[in-house]
Chains A and B, each alone.
Chain A
Amino acid sequence: MYTLGDNLRHLLDNFAANAGSVRILLLTSPT
Chain B
Amino acid sequence: MCLEGASRAGAELLGAVADQRLRAYFVWVPMLPSDDQKAADAASRRFAEPRATHYWDGERHLARHMAPALGIAARESITIGDAPEFAWDVYLAYGRGTKRIEQPDFWVHQLGVKHAPRLDAGEWRRRVGQLVDVTPG
| B79 CB–A CB distance under 8 Å | no
Query: For the complex, would chain B's binding face be called helix, strand, loop or mixed by DSSP majority?
Result: mixed
Within 8 A of A (CB), among B51-80: 53-59, 61-63, 65-66
Contact B132 A31 (CB under 8 A): no
Kindly report which residue of chain B lies nearest to residue A31, judged by CB atoms. Answer: B34
Interface size (A, Cβ < 8 Å)?
27
B118 CB to nearest chain A CB (Å): 14
B42 at interface (Cβ–Cβ under 8 A)? Answer: yes
What range describes how many residues of B lie at the interface? 35 or more
Residue B35 at the chain A interface, CB threshold 8 Å: yes
Q: Determine the distance from Cα of A6 to Cα of B43 in the docked complex, in whole angstroms.
A: 22
B22 in contact with A24 (CB, 8 Å): yes
* Chain A positions within 8 Å of B9 at CB level: 24, 26
Q: How long is the Cα–Cα vector from A25 to B54 in the complex, in angstroms? A: 10
